[in-house]
Structure 1
């Protein structure tokens, strides 16, 4: 009986493994109180960083003032996924573009600069790099967030990016174990299944994760996907068999972070509090709860965890081990200060990798039209591509171009048109009109031919936009 923890100790441990988010650029009183009680940390989203670096640094200081050991986390992948750069494209190339360039020194320097930016505003954990092999071109949630479609390429660059960011003193969290690349469903919305056998998983999905473990990655994030070859009943986040593979086969001894438990792939069946209990039982250490939940959900999850310890479903030693791992997650910074990667170097590096199909027509006087398809939830609402002259609602594409649009050549920007039949039909209609059009594809370079010239950039970023602009100017475009 002497070793039985007091209820208040269990409740404190339960808080220490939780990583919720909240809306706004100031620390709400209810979250301040939870942090003072030992809440594990806060995960930032776009609304938290909207007022710029100084305000973000002040928010981090407030969080740390309430709990000096709190984790401050964010999704900052560069390229398409950025929480610090939302009004203009990210200043660094994203994963798919870096994989196409295939310069490991550049990839490491990009990771290092992202780490320096995050450290400057008090962020201690970056939920990146993406270590998924995007083997399915129709993947709706990974795509250009992946370094590529080959396991060796992804492994090399994910490891380089990890070394870079951790050299700046920010912990990296490779995701989404055991690999989300071969899916055609977004796990934010449903539960995807990977129908690969064990040999394929070992030769494809696990290779990049073995590489980042070898590079000393501080954390690994789970995925809400079903992998029947490993566990036919439970998504990876809730599966002891899948997470045991990470610990036992890959030898990972760091922090296992769950993907957000408000996602349908994790909690549509069980609800968030029960999903949290199951994730801890399976082997997760730090539980992401998502940005749009009230603080009462944190209380509900804490109560569910404490109840599971009380009734024996969750061993207290498992909960204590998870809290210990979270509390000890620290990455020492390298001594040297880091400057931003040279924009011209990035632009010049990515320019030769642009996939250009067909000869570009004369673009003198061309207007830029953007088809404003909604990005997946991971990308969110961020600036992308060239600033357009006209924006088109995807729901209006069947009506063709607006009647007040002047005649003349066009640059039409799209994202992942290979997955969007309505966008392809619109582009084909433009080709049928005989208008001079160049399509700029900012998403994954999936195969489609609508009879128009196409430039594939493998994701949007400041250097990527500059490289595309240079290519368009060679064809006479000016603005």
Structure 2
């Protein structure tokens, strides 16, 4: 059955697609000309700034007000810096520094970087309160574990981004910080009363609304008292009731990627997930990273069919299109960029770092970086002290694939500096650190979400609150290891 052209265009106006490579395929531009709202860029789309600027100009030649989105949180989640690491610390370090004006300046700098290459929608900031320390997907992406702290930095981040003409998208509503599973892989459940949600998780979203955020992203998480058996992305009580009704948000509600199992597997398919999200009150649907024309057409066809079989009211679809058009119009309006201080990122990383002990006891060490995994949100981004060490030797080993004797032999008579992420959660790393520290001068640099754990007899303990390029330089400087190029 042929799709009605008018309904197809309306459906396309609610979709953010994606494509591989440094140049857009023909279909990406053709769909923009036919009504597609825009595209999300991922690391595979990003090379040099000049290339990204050419790519966004190519997309805008098909639709001048195209929404071109990206996940540029700074810190551990970066797309512009996916080959080197971000030049800015992430939210955890900014929360540790606890200077909202510094946070505003960092996000203004991120906004200026994005605007310079033609990106006008940042799927950031992350405003989840990381109330569960072992959260596998948020962690250092959060400003902290307290709602008041996160709220005041949320407002600053939104203001900084939008001052430079890049729309902010506060995420992940109604709060992903208390989850112990990853919504990329399954549907996490946060089983708490609404009163807890209102006290713990919602204040940052209220701050984002007050700051004028142009968008809010829904989370593929289940809060039984609010969303029933499905995710917030499919819940009218969450989106239309809580976000629009209670918090008074009037901008665009953007979904997290519908390809994620927390959405697609729950609905049965990506097209069905799109319909469920629109019906619940979402306006702009992120499809995900693996997208082709056939998938976009299948989603548009499903949305059109849903307006005829009662799953989606035409008025709701038209409302979504209107809100997306308003976001596109705001994002297409040029604004003068605030000048960026080139050392701002490192300055912020220094201020968000904790140094315990005397670095003078660790002169000319062997640096040992423990192999660490990465979340799907982060991807494989370089991290650690490597780029900042000059002639100081660094080796990389899995904590459970080496021994204290092997590391001691590699170090000879040198001190050892051990670098890792969430070291407290690795029994192998804790054992290695303890045995080495009993025999020689040892320093530890924790670059993940921190914990109260402190190893005995360690001479220096550094907490960076993140693993960006800026965090790595600040840590190397603190231990007097940094060599300028």
The alignment's TM-score, normalised by the length of structure 2, stands at 0.91
Relative to 1, partners in 2 of residues 1:336 and 1:70: Cα closer, same or farther, differing over 3 Å?
Answer: closer
Answer yes or no: is 1:76 the counterpart of 2:75: no
Aligned to 2:373: 374
Instruction: List aligned pairs for 1:134-145, cutoff 5 A.
Output: 134-145=130-141
Q: CA deviation at 1:406?
A: 3.7
Aligned to 1:271: 269
SS in 2 for 1:290: coil
Q: CA deviation at 1:422?
A: 4.1
Answer yes or no: is 1:188 the counterpart of 2:184: yes
Q: Deviations over 1:181-229 (max 9, x none)?
A: 1111111111111122122111111100001100000000011111122
Q: CA deviation at 1:370?
A: 1.6
Distance 1:280 1:394 in 2: 46
Answer yes or no: is 1:460 the counterpart of 2:467: yes
Contact 2:86 2:469 survives alignment (8 Å): yes
Q: Deviations over 1:424-448 (max 9, x none)?
A: 344345446x243212111111233
Equivalent pairs, count? 470
Q: Deviations over 1:255-304 (max 9, x none)?
A: 00000111111112322111111111111111111112333221221121
Q: CA deviation at 1:449?
A: 3.6
Contact 1:89 1:385 survives alignment (8 Å): no
Q: CA deviation at 1:31?
A: 1.9
Distance 1:272 1:394 in 2: 39
Relative to 1, partners in 2 of residues 1:34 and 1:349: Cα closer, same or farther, differing over 3 Å?
Answer: closer
Which of 230, 242, 245 is residue 245 of structure 1 equivalent to? 242
Answer yes or no: is 1:427 the counterpart of 2:423: no
Answer yes or no: is 1:166 the counterpart of 2:162: yes
CA RMSD of aligned residues (A): 2.4
Relative to 1, partners in 2 of residues 1:39 and 1:346: Cα closer, same or farther, differing over 3 Å?
Answer: closer
Distance 2:383 2:482 in 1: 19
Answer yes or no: is 1:356 the counterpart of 2:355: yes
Answer yes or no: is 1:225 the counterpart of 2:231: no
Aligned to 1:234: 230
Q: CA deviation at 1:146?
A: 0.8
Answer yes or no: is 1:111 the counterpart of 2:107: yes
The alignment's TM-score, normalised by the length of structure 1, stands at 0.92
Contact 1:134 1:142 survives alignment (8 Å): yes
Which of 306, 313, 316 is residue 314 of structure 2 equivalent to? 316
Higher mean alpha-carbon deviation, 241-250 vs 422-431, is at: 422-431
Q: Deviations over 1:357-398 (max 9, x none)?
A: 455572222122222212111111212221172122466357
Higher mean alpha-carbon deviation, 461-470 vs 87-96, is at: 461-470
SS in 2 for 1:455: strand
Q: Deviations over 1:427-472 (max 9, x none)?
A: 345446x243212111111233443342110012344333212221
Distance 2:332 2:285 in 1: 23
Aligned to 2:286: 288
SS in 2 for 1:113: helix
Contact 2:33 2:62 survives alignment (8 Å): yes
SS in 2 for 1:39: coil
Higher mean alpha-carbon deviation, 81-90 vs 145-154, is at: 81-90
Distance 2:71 2:455 in 1: 35
Q: CA deviation at 1:100?
A: 1.1
Structure 2 unaligned segments of length 5 or more: list them: 388-393
Relative to 1, partners in 2 of residues 1:401 and 1:253: Cα closer, same or farther, differing over 3 Å?
Answer: farther
Q: CA deviation at 1:401?
A: 4.3
Which of 410, 416, 434 is residue 410 of structure 1 equivalent to? 416
Which of 257, 261, 264 is residue 260 of structure 1 equivalent to? 257
Relative to 1, partners in 2 of residues 1:116 and 1:34: Cα closer, same or farther, differing over 3 Å?
Answer: same
Contact 1:133 1:182 survives alignment (8 Å): yes
Structure 1 unaligned segments of length 5 or more: list them: 1-5
Distance 1:347 1:73 in 2: 26
Q: CA deviation at 1:331?
A: 4.5
